[in-house]
Structure 1
Amino acid sequence: MTNRSEALFEEANQYLVGGVNSAVRAFRAVGGTPVFMRRGQGAWIEDVDGRQYVDYVLSYGPLAIGHAHPAVVDAIAQTAANGTSFGAPTELETELARKVQAIMPGMERLRMVNSGTEACMSAVRLARGYTGRDRVLKFRGNYHGHVDALLVEAGSGVLTLGIPGSPGVPAAVTETTLTAPYNDIDSVRQLVAEYGDSLAAILVEPVSGNMNCVPALPEFLQGLRDVCDDTGALLVFDEVMSGFRASLGGAQAWYGIHPDLTCLGKVIGGGLPTAALGGRAEIMDWLAPTGPVYQAGTLSGNPLAMASGLTTLTELARPGVHAEAEAWTARLLEGLRDRAARAGVALRTHQAGTMFGLFFTDRDSVVGFEDVAACDGDRFVRFFHGMLEAGVYLAPSAFEAGFVSTAHDEAALRHTLDAAEQVFADL
């Protein structure tokens, strides 16, 4: 893309696998050289050559109030001045947990961890320990981190790179993992009829963000709740992406359907690495040290991440803030659909609060992995590069959701829609 980025990527390949530390960043799905960034402010980021872009990646979701928010920067700096990690409890851990519980009352107890992958891994272990059962049911195109038992028909990076699961995952590890089509409750009932007595948990993204943005059908989530109530399995919502985005209270508040356990990540750390597992107290208390299910982490609940997350959620929870960002997202998608239609480009969009998805398809609906996979991938690649050239940064994969922050304003909207109008015309 730029001379400096090309040189940096060439150098990175000498030291880092594929030149990156997370697979989707390598631009393998869209071609070309990854753009190296050096700073961000609000809704905008700047690359190493000084080019600026409206950012709809937002570190793949965490930056719900934008880049380098002054309150977040100040909170991190003040906390760092007193020490970055102690391996002992701090008051900030309780303050963040209290804030999360106030926003998501169903999370009666929390355990802070360091990544969404770790939260989902811990949720599976806890569900198995609590129920005394082994099987877990997940859905095609849902990605729950690179956990061995869950890296089956997964979304996001696995779809982008075309890896069917992953080498290095023994068959014995995945033989207790059941899979079903997303948004297909009948297939779930068929599996439960055969395996219900051995089912520990149903794990689902209530808004899938790893096969682009595909919200669950309300009747599908309610069906999962009913199945779990009938069988004694635990319903686990992976809200690593949808938490504090589908609505302030996450997808569970948006749908009014409440899981037994919730996995959070991304926004809860405000750009620093932290995540959480939470849910009903009687289940969560099965974790060590109060229960027999072991889980621990040296840097879990580290002060910098707690300060960043607490400040982010405090800002996001101010009256009207989240609603304004949702309304801005709706205006963005309306503008994109209008310009695509005028150019004769088939485009569908999805919105879940401040998450969104763009699908180059003329299908009537996009509700599962098969629908997403049938979209026009070549047209997405051309759209991606056209928008990048015009100063709009989207995720370099048709299987990734887009994100909006509270910092996205009229200037960002105008820049994005002007760029899209030209790119759609070129398509």
Structure 2
Amino acid sequence: MITTQSEALYEKAQQLIPGGVNSPVRAFGSVGGTPRFIDRGQGAYLWDVDGNRYVDYVLSWGPLVLGHAPKAVINAITETAVKGTSYGAPTAIENDLADLVIDTVPSIEMIRFVNSGTEACMSALRLARAYTGREKIIKFAGNYHGHADMLLVQAGSGVATLGLPDSPGVPSGTTENTLTAPYNDLAAVRDLFERYPDAIAGAIVEPIAANMGFVMPEEGYLQGLIDLCHEYDALLILDEVMTGFRVGLGGAQEAYNLDPDITCLGKVIGGGLPVGAYAGKRDIMAHVAPAGTMYQAGTLSGNPLAMAAGLATITALRRPGVFDSIAEQAQKLTEGLGEIMQAQGVPVQIGQAGSMFGMYFLKEAEAHIRDYATAKQYADTARYGQFFHAMLAQGVYLAPSQFEAGFLSAAHDIETLEATLNAAESAIKQVTA
């Protein structure tokens, strides 16, 4: 595969941009090699600047649930852009998208649009503190909720990928009210509540831990978190930036029958454009300015381009059979990968929920990954790196990190799945040779 233009662009980028990328995992740091510079995307495919085509399972890290450049979304953006790109004032389309999200996600009664998942989680925690009058929050090791200072504590994702400390530059005082517990461990959460019974504002959790690979919640875990929070008059914040509209049409909360107090959503509600939101019960959201006293603002919040793209995306996703078809394809993919790995005697742990999936190569055949500690202990990152490059060479673009989830879209059809599984069957033989 010829990659001379990507190599030249990366060399230049490293002189202009820290590490040559604008988000760390793009640098291929944990898998090695040169990142591909992308020229365009269409449907389930990406083309790089050298003209190589790839089946894409990154999909801009999840929001492109209809695939790249779907006609309905492009038309919506184009029709909106010719009227103006930003006003810093309310628009009718904000109401339209808010209505659609509220109608789709079970627990949401009111919503505030922001510009990213990081901003959504940061604002949700501020709201929990304002509502309860308490300062401490609980997060879970390996869960990533964006790069706000107070959340960069055992944060998984890019931090895990690069093997960095949680981050230099974060003042110790910023995280002194952030408590951590292992994912899938209710006893540890109860212990924190018993130690700080009147000080914890809430807990924030990824319903599926998709930033330390792909770790499913154990039975009863998520409802147990809600119950514990409410027992101590705290709030449960469900971070559905990754899982919203992907694990189920109404998110993980619909799939697992959950009723969180606050929900965080990400770029999927903007059709891939920069957007996020925090949302929840009416009495809680009423504390947000100007209705209440908790201040949060953003010049580009509710940007009409993102609102139009999100409205087109979710409208299409809600059509009968669309989401179910994506989930069915994801199941076929993971089942096929599992069969290939088993036939070659390669120990793996594969998970899938809705349109999301993840696969760990395991250092030990009997290992089971259930939290951040076991992910770091048992994930075979070296073998994943070899498999990643063997797949890339055959035109399949997976996440360039063992600790990231993968995604399918409505554009991933039988042809793309067959191509992927054929590539995997060849790739795993190269890796194990």
TM-score by length of 2: 0.97
1:293 aligned residue: 294
1:389 aligned residue: 393
Contact 2:106 2:253 (8 Å CA) reproduced: no
| Secondary structure of the structure 1 residue equivalent to 2:220 | helix
Are 2:22 and 1:21 equivalent residues in the alignment? Answer: yes
Counterpart Cα distance in 1 of 2:424 and 2:387? 8
1:304-354 deviation digits (Å, cap 9, x = unpaired): 000000100001111111011101000001111111111121122001111
Contact 1:37 1:48 (8 Å CA) reproduced: yes
Counterpart Cα distance in 2 of 1:127 and 1:146? 18
One-letter amino acid of the structure 1 residue matched with residue 223 of structure 2: Q
1:194-222 deviation digits (Å, cap 9, x = unpaired): 01210001000001110012121231111
1:407 aligned residue: 411
1:59-109 deviation digits (Å, cap 9, x = unpaired): 000100000000000000000000000011001101000000010131101
Cα deviation, residue 378, structure 1? 0.8
Counterpart Cα distance in 1 of 2:293 and 2:66? 39
Counterpart Cα distance in 1 of 2:302 and 2:267? 14
1:363 aligned residue: 366
Are 2:146 and 1:142 equivalent residues in the alignment? Answer: no
2:203 aligned residue: 202
Counterpart Cα distance in 2 of 1:128 and 1:163? 29
1:398 aligned residue: 402
Contact 1:360 1:380 (8 Å CA) reproduced: yes
Counterpart Cα distance in 2 of 1:387 and 1:297? 41
| 1:246-257 pair list within 5 angstroms | 246-257=247-258
Cα deviation, residue 230, structure 1? 0.6
Counterpart Cα distance in 2 of 1:76 and 1:95? 15
Cα deviation, residue 394, structure 1? 0.6
TM-score by length of 1: 0.99
1:102 aligned residue: 103
Contact 1:211 1:372 (8 Å CA) reproduced: yes
2:129 aligned residue: 128
| Secondary structure of the structure 1 residue equivalent to 2:100 | helix
Counterpart Cα distance in 1 of 2:158 and 2:192? 27
1:370-414 deviation digits (Å, cap 9, x = unpaired): 222121111101000000001000111110000000110011011
One-letter amino acid of the structure 2 residue matched with residue 193 of structure 1: E
Are 2:43 and 1:47 equivalent residues in the alignment? Answer: no
Are 2:35 and 1:34 equivalent residues in the alignment? Answer: yes
In structure 1, stretches of 5+ residues that fail to align are: none
One-letter amino acid of the structure 1 residue matched with residue 255 of structure 2: W
In structure 2, stretches of 5+ residues that fail to align are: none
Are 2:183 and 1:182 equivalent residues in the alignment? Answer: yes
Contact 2:392 2:398 (8 Å CA) reproduced: yes
The 10-residue stretch of structure 1 (159-168 or 277-286) with the greater mean CA deviation from structure 2: 159-168
Contact 1:40 1:46 (8 Å CA) reproduced: yes
Counterpart Cα distance in 2 of 1:409 and 1:364? 33
Cα deviation, residue 363, structure 1? 3.5
Runs of 4+ in 1 over 3 A off after TM superposition: none
The 10-residue stretch of structure 1 (77-86 or 361-370) with the greater mean CA deviation from structure 2: 361-370
Cα deviation, residue 223, structure 1? 1.1
Cα deviation, residue 364, structure 1? 5.2
1:239 aligned residue: 240
1:270 aligned residue: 271
2:322 aligned residue: 321
One-letter amino acid of the structure 1 residue matched with residue 105 of structure 2: M
Supply the RMSD in Å over aligned alpha carbons: 0.9
1:417 aligned residue: 421
Cα deviation, residue 367, structure 1? 1.4
Counterpart Cα distance in 2 of 1:14 and 1:91? 44
Contact 2:140 2:180 (8 Å CA) reproduced: yes
Counterpart Cα distance in 1 of 2:106 and 2:255? 13
1:80 aligned residue: 81
1:372 aligned to which of 372, 375, 378: 375
1:17-36 deviation digits (Å, cap 9, x = unpaired): 11110011011111111000
| Secondary structure of the structure 2 residue equivalent to 1:214 | coil
Counterpart Cα distance in 2 of 1:365 and 1:93? 44
The 10-residue stretch of structure 1 (367-376 or 290-299) with the greater mean CA deviation from structure 2: 367-376
One-letter amino acid of the structure 2 residue matched with residue 308 of structure 1: A
| Aligned CA distance change for structure 1 residues 372 and 363 (closer, same or farther; 3 Å) | farther
One-letter amino acid of the structure 1 residue matched with residue 374 of structure 2: D
| 1:346-361 pair list within 5 angstroms | 346-361=347-362
Counterpart Cα distance in 1 of 2:169 and 2:384? 31
Counterpart Cα distance in 1 of 2:298 and 2:235? 24
Counterpart Cα distance in 1 of 2:118 and 2:95? 22
Contact 1:218 1:255 (8 Å CA) reproduced: no
Contact 1:152 1:164 (8 Å CA) reproduced: no
Counterpart Cα distance in 2 of 1:86 and 1:238? 29
**Number of matched pairs:** 427
1:89 aligned residue: 90
Counterpart Cα distance in 1 of 2:212 and 2:153? 14
